[in-house]
Structure 1
Amino acid sequence: MDASPVQQRKQQSGAAVSIEPVQSKKQLGQFIDFPHDLYKDDPNYVPELFIAQRDLLTPGKHPFHDHSTLQLFLAWRDNKIVGRIAAIHNKNHNVFNNANDGFFGFFESINDQSVADALFQTAEKWLKEKGLQTMIGPVNFSTNEPCALLVDGFDMPPVAMMTYNPRYYIDLLGAWGLQKKVDTYAFRIKDENVNDKPQRMVQLLKERLAQRNITIRKINMKDFKAEAERVRGVYNAAWDKNMGFVPMNDKEFDYMANDLKLVVDPDFVLLAEHEGKVIGITICIPDVNQILINVKRGRLFPTGLLKLLLGKSKIKVLRIAVLGVLEEYRKLGIEGVFYGMIMEKGREKGYRWAEASWILEHNDMMNKPIEHMNGERYKTYRIYEKAI
């Protein structure tokens, strides 16, 4: 497949690269807007909403800043922005994992190794000054947020809350000495190809679970705050052994939940309960990127909000973003019921396919069942690391 226009650009300017820290609202706006110009010729690029990115990166707006720190940097050449990066000190991650890791995120660059090197060098220096010993990324705060570099599957836009980048980033990161830490997978499950055994088995599995006093229900949006609190305990416990995981505190989970509340369809947010205690969850979200791809420069006003409101009913792709069960309740059939109910309701509502993402490469408990449903591994993402 031919490289996209953004992959074909290769800057050869001999002018020096200068790096400046983001310290003002104007610079923050430039940081957020740079990708729109970088990807302007790439048909698969989906702009991030400006207001969401601004709040994410502003202390006092997003709860990450209550416990951790970061510094944004812009790369300039010939009076033009040519790259950006964030150096991130996630203190909660290090406490939970008993680690001394630093992170980089929000990385974007023209196809020029000298620009990428200047950005990585600046981020590495900032992290070392904090006493950190490794540089991991791209991670936009933690693995609870969009993270990892796309390394395979460049022919389609990303689905909601997944990352996207040009192919040449693989070379830029590798040349700096960043090496693979772990890969994560995205699977595409097409309606016409799926093995619908889970859907056929739903009733039988439900009956078996009922004998153990386990029931499956959809979320009650009228009691959303209490439901979110019930889900938080499972979210923080079911993934606690995943690489790099850090549990969300109350404020962080509430922030994420309120964002998801704007886009979720309650038919696709399912809770498994044992005698009233939530023991498993799945959260699927309509692929709002099918709308956002047409929202110019990520601005909701004046027309972007209208596109979002009018376009939601036309979305025909679903992302299975969260599916987890507490360890002591796994292999009882709960996961099968989740998949079966998603299939049944997805077909009823006219969804053409679903993406299950992201899943660690060595997570056979998740990867194997999706493969058995004829899920196609169609995108691969990578988290890199480097000792500093």
Structure 2
Amino acid sequence: MMIDIIEVNSRKLLRDFIYLPSYIHANHANWVPPIYMDEWDYFNPKKNDSFSHCDTIMLLAYNDNRPVGRIMGIIQRSYNQQHNEKHARFAYLETENNQIIHNALMDAVIAWAQHKGMTHIVGPLGFSDKDPQGFMIEGFDAPVTIATNCNQPYMVDLVGNYGFVPKLDLVVYKVPVPETKPEIITRIEERFRNRKTDLRVMEFRARRQVRPYIRPVLSLVNQTFTDIYGFIPFTTREMDEMANRYLYLINPEYIKIIVNGKNEVIAFVLGMSDLSEGFRKSRGKLFPFGFIHLLRAGKKSTQLNLLLGAVHPDYQGRGLDMLMGARLIESARKNGKKVMDSHLELESNLKVRAEMERMGGKVYKRFRIFIKEL
């Protein structure tokens, strides 16, 4: 078997890179296509500011002129400097169930990383922890959710056979949404109303109301996520890119923001309806009718996906996370949601895990990031 590894340096090759997963997962029932318009922007250095502070390489594997695999190598310079590491990352690895193809891709990206002076390679891990990370190792019977990897079990075997070992695990909880308003939610809201405070909970009906708060919200993420593995602070341009990529998909009812007397954002939580069925029906295209499929899917879906949340350090320990969670659950309940997906949580984050389990959540997916010494 002759495998040719080619660096992506043209629009034609980028097209192969972007659309390859649709062939790899052609018979994968739970795979969901991305919005391809967003993919073109994401992998374009002129439109994705993450490229500006990273070294990157994108590679394709061909067999008989047919694309059979892809991989992206990333060196996150600022993260390495901050953590005194020389780590390269691999991301967006897709391949047929073939060790030869996998090894050819990995050999090439490791050679690139060694040439750059790296001592380890870790992944799957993108530009930051906000990108899909880790290979799924449990939960293969569940549909993929937004901003997470969807891989077949054989991918874990391929990287293991190559010599990668586990670095860390991330878990995903499925949390039931109560059919009636729980008494604890009523008590939390009453406690907040009776407290003498200048804090206000902001709720929204329109996306245009949310947009002025995008930068303050993501600035709060920059302040509070510093200890999260893989996290890189958002630049102002990345904040705007994030808004453009996701805001149109989100029902503003699932955005809760708390501001203080100076109108400063000091806490927030963000969720969105599961749009998996809409992504499938749209086949990754917004136009001409894909957007309609997404809107319908958002209204019909009984699952709410949690995406982000944070509380300013000066306001932690005051129950604000519980207050926002209560408001979010109430919005979900009124809109017919039955369950919530917690998104990825570090297995070692016992505080968040305890909160999920207190609400009746059960782990139903597990992802693993791997590492290899070079």
Q: TM-score range by the shorter chain?
A: over 0.9
Q: Indicate conservation of the 8 Å contact 1:75/1:83, yes or no.
A: yes
Distance 1:196 1:101, change over 3 A: farther
Aligned-residue Cα RMSD (Å) equals 2.0
Which one of the candidate residues 333, 340, 363 is aligned to 1:377? 363
Inter-CA distance 189–239: structure 2 relative to 1 (3 Å threshold): same
SS in structure 1 at match of 2:344: strand
Q: Deviations over 1:140-182 (max 9, x none)?
A: 2221212211110000111222221001111111111111111
Tell me: CA distance 1:66–1:265, structure 2 relative to 1, closer, same or farther (3 Å). same
Correspondence for 2:193: 207
Alpha-carbon deviation of 1:313?
2.3
Match of 2:257 in 1: 271
Which 4+ stretches in 1 moved above 6 angstroms? none
1:280 to 254, 267, 270: 267
Q: Distance in 1 between matches of 2:117 and 2:141?
A: 40
Any unmatched runs of 5+ in structure 2?
none
2:123/2:133 contact within 8 Å kept? yes
Percent of aligned positions that are identical: 25
Matched, 1:134 2:134: no
Contact 2:266-2:315 within 8 A present in 1 as well: yes
Question: What SS class does the counterpart of residue 332 from structure 1 fall into?
Answer: coil
Distance in structure 1 (CA, Å) of the matches to 2:100 and 2:181: 49
Partner of 1:7: none
Give the paired residue count: 372
Q: How does 1:57-206 map to 2 (within 5 A)?
A: 57-191=43-177, 196=182, 198-206=184-192
Aligned twin of 2:278: 291
**How far, CA to CA, are the matches of 1:366 and 1:277 in structure 2?**
25
Cα 1:167/1:67, change in 2 over 3 Å: same
Q: How does 1:361-376 map to 2 (within 5 A)?
A: 361-376=347-362
The alpha-carbon distance between structure 1 residues 58 and 227, as it changes in their structure 2 partners (threshold 3 A), is same
Q: How far is the alpha carbon of 1:239 from its aligned partner?
A: 0.9
Q: Distance in 2 between matches of 1:278 and 1:123?
A: 41
What one-letter code is carried by the residue in structure 2 that aligns with 1:317?
Q
Cα distance in structure 1, aligned partners of 2:361 and 2:186:
17
Give the AA of the match of 1:287.
D
In structure 1, what is the Cα distance between the partners aligned to 2:11 and 2:156? 31
1:277 Cα deviation (Å)?
Answer: 2.4
Deviations 1:107-128 (A, max 9, x none): 0111111111111111111111
1:218 partnered with 2:203: yes
TM-score by length of 1: 0.90
Q: 1:230 aligns with which of 212, 216, 220?
A: 216
Q: CA deviation at 1:212?
A: 4.3
Structure 1 CA distance for aligned equivalents of residues 292 and 364 of structure 2? 32
Q: TM-score scaled to structure 2, two decimals?
A: 0.93
Q: C-alpha displacement at 1:289, in angstroms? A: 1.9
Q: Which runs of 5+ in 1 are unaligned?
A: 1-14
> Whole-Å Cα distance in 2 between the matches of residues 197 and 368 of structure 1?
20
8 Å CA contact 1:46, 1:293 repeated in 2: yes
TM-aligned CA deviation for residue 228 of structure 1: 1.2
Instruction: Report the Cα distance in structure 2 between the residues aligned to 1:245 and 1:357, rounded to whole angstroms.
Output: 15
CA displacement, residues 193-232 of structure 1 (integer Å, 9 cap, x when unaligned):
9994642333134236x43433322257445443112212
The answer to whether the 8 A contact 2:58-2:72 is kept is yes
The reply on whether 1:37 has 2:28 as its aligned counterpart is no
How far apart in 2 are the matches of 1:106 and 1:369? 31
The answer to whether the 8 A contact 1:195-1:373 is kept is no
What's the CA shift for 1:284?
0.6
* 1:327, distance to aligned residue in structure 2 (A): 2.6
Kindly indicate whether the alpha-carbon contact (under 8 Å) linking 1:93 and 1:244 is maintained by their aligned counterparts in 2. yes
Q: CA deviation at 1:386?
A: 1.4
Instruction: Tell me the distance in 2 between the aligned counterparts of 1:127 and 1:270.
Output: 42
Letter in 1 for 2:75: H
